[in-house]
Amino acid sequence: MDKIRIVNGALAQMLSSQEAHGGRGEAFGRLLGVGGDSLLDLSASLSPCPVDIETVLAKYLEGVRRYPDPNRARCCLAEAIGVEVDNLVLTNGGSEAIACVASYVGTARLQEPEFSLYERHLDRVDPAAPTIRSNPNNPTGKLADKDDQALVWDEAFYQLATGTWTRGDIEDGCIIIGSLTKLLGCPGLRIGYVISKDDKLIAELSHRLPAWNVNSLVCDGLEDLLGLVDLEQIASKVGQLRDYMTELLEGFGLSYIGSDANYLCVRAPNFNRGLMNKLFSISPYEPIRVWSDQENTLSSLNSKGRLFRNALISQGVIVRDCDSFGMPDYVRVAVCDRGDLALLEKALEILGEYWS
């Protein structure tokens, strides 16, 4: 009984809190008593057509017994992007790149809605300061106009949106933040980078980063991983799958923000709150059913997006609410392949009876 109470308490906390980041399929799976693979996790916007990283990295497992040497991986990535190796620093994922650059810049302007990690690592947000921007925007998925300017561009999703490595703002003195997490579908591997022609910045970031911040699997296997990537083909496939998803959403009367990326900002429907406990009570997951019986279950769901997120979770589909982006009426949904789209359709068919 104590275990059930602890699980239900942890689940209630997760369901009532806003998402600061996606990719919590494993955590929800543990609380629902199933494996993370049993849930459809569309909260982390990874490539819907990832490369076979497991086969590649299996050849380099022995490397974990020695200290990593990032030089070869750094050279390979710089060549792929088309920049000088001295203009590139490897980081432990895009989050480390954001933390280091934001800390170095100190003060910047943000154009909302925007990814919350920028503000978290800045000393101060100033409307008069140079801008940090994601391109395409996270969460709307819209690419920046060609004349838009910023001091720092975060291109974590740029390859999936355009089929090219970078917009090339490094030539205008900008700082570029990048990540291979989304492109390769490997959030656990942690491959990020910063590129800039500012020698002082590159030297300072290299000094600030801890020794051996990038693991040996990345250092040894990145060249082979890059050899599996066809950017144009992947971006074309993403666009096709995004079109399939928009058709599905429109079929259920759901509206969304037009996106160039591998995710969509979907407006939450108007649920009949009087029927929501009934919906949760028919969930295939017992912890959800128990949670729905608790007093004031819906009182904490003070945003339409979070209510929609939890309704989808009750049917085994995880999306990200957009409260942390200042868009409480929306959820962000990752573009997925046709098989996963069928699972989303099944969930929406059930939920459709509970919204007007």
pLDDT recorded at residue 5: 44
Do 210 and 278 reside in the same domain of the chain? Answer: no
pLDDT recorded at residue 292: 73
pLDDT recorded at residue 6: 39
Do 41 and 95 reside in the same domain of the chain? Answer: no
pLDDT recorded at residue 3: 41
Do 220 and 74 reside in the same domain of the chain? Answer: yes
Query: How far apart are the C-alpha atoms of 169 and 272, rounded to whole Å?
Result: 47
Q: Give the chain's residues under pLDDT 70.
A: 1-14, 16-21, 36, 293-301
Do 107 and 241 reside in the same domain of the chain? Answer: no
pLDDT recorded at residue 7: 45
Q: How many domains does the chain have?
A: 2
Question: How do residues 133-182 score in pLDDT, each as one tens digit?
Answer: 999 999 999 999 999 999 999 999 999 999 999 999 999 999 999 999 99
Domain edge (last residue) among 193, 228, 263: 228
Do 217 and 80 reside in the same domain of the chain? Answer: yes
pLDDT recorded at residue 295: 46
Question: How do residues 249-260 score in pLDDT, each as one tens digit?
Answer: 999 999 999 999
pLDDT recorded at residue 2: 43
Whole-number Cα distances in Å, 354 to 181, 279, 316: 36, 7, 17
Do 41 and 63 reside in the same domain of the chain? Answer: no
**Encoded amino acid at 170, one letter:** I
Identify the H or E element spanning 104.
helix 93-105
Do 116 and 154 reside in the same domain of the chain? Answer: yes
Domain edge (last residue) among 185, 200, 228: 228
Closest to 105 in 3D by CA, of 85, 87, 91, 126: 126
Do 59 and 129 reside in the same domain of the chain? Answer: yes
- Give the SS3 label for residue 196: coil
Question: The domain that contains 153 carries what CATH number?
Answer: 3.40.640.10
Given a contact cutoff of 8 angstroms between Cβ atoms, the answer to whether 88 and 77 are in contact is yes
- Give the SS3 label for residue 4: helix
pLDDT recorded at residue 25: 78
Do 161 and 81 reside in the same domain of the chain? Answer: yes
> Which of the 8 DSSP states describes residue 136?
S
pTM of the predicted model as reported, rounded to 2 decimal places: 0.92
